[in-house]
Amino acid sequence: MDMGRMMETMRPMMAGRDGMGMPFEHVEGRIAYLKAELKITDAQAAPWNAFADIVRADAIAMKAMHDGMVKSGMPVTTPERMAAQHKMMTARIGMMERSEASTKALYTSLSEDQRKAFDQMMSGPMGMM
């Protein structure tokens, strides 16, 4: 099975029960939802915008990785699969490192109630932004 067909077959499983799809899909909607649910204030705009920009950049990077995997096909051998997994994990760690400062700055600006909501929303599919 080619990678494109495999990804389409796996999409429902990857989407989970909520049907949100791949983490890079609908990123603007996810950002808008999170902003509305957190009730971001004008005073919180700067840390919020920095956080949202990182989320957007991560979504672009994740889509590029996904598209590259689809284009190149599934690795066949164990060493090839390990190399592909290593590349994905390294990229994901890089994304986490880049987002850490903006997430902390946003978190610091949030009220206690906003922090509780943020913690809940970021532990599920939204946390996979």
Q: Tokens in use for 97?
A: 């490192």
Instruction: Answer yes or no: is pLDDT of 51 > 90.
Output: yes
Q: Tokens in use for 116?
A: 């509780």
**How many other CB atoms are found less than 10 A from the CB of residue 51?**
26
Q: How far apart are CA 5 and CA 11, in angstroms?
A: 10
Q: How far apart are CA 21 and CA 14, in angstroms?
A: 7
CA separation, residue 61 to residues 55, 57, 68, 129 (Å):
10, 6, 11, 11
Instruction: Answer yes or no: is pLDDT of 9 > 80.
Output: no
Task: Say how many CA atoms lie within 13 Å of 31 toward its Cβ.
Answer: 17
Tell how far CA 4 is from the center of its chain.
21
Q: Tokens in use for 128?
A: 């996979």
pLDDT at 61: 87
Taking only the tens place, the pLDDT of each residue in 59-117 is 888 888 877 777 877 788 999 989 988 988 998 899 889 999 999 999 999 999 999 99
Taking only the tens place, the pLDDT of each residue in 15-37 is 443 445 666 678 999 999 999 99
Instruction: Answer yes or no: is pLDDT of 41 > 90.
Output: yes
Instruction: Answer yes or no: is pLDDT of 56 > 80.
Output: yes
Regarding pTM above 0.75, the answer is no
Taking only the tens place, the pLDDT of each residue in 116-125 is 999 998 885 4
- 10 or 84, which is more confident? 84
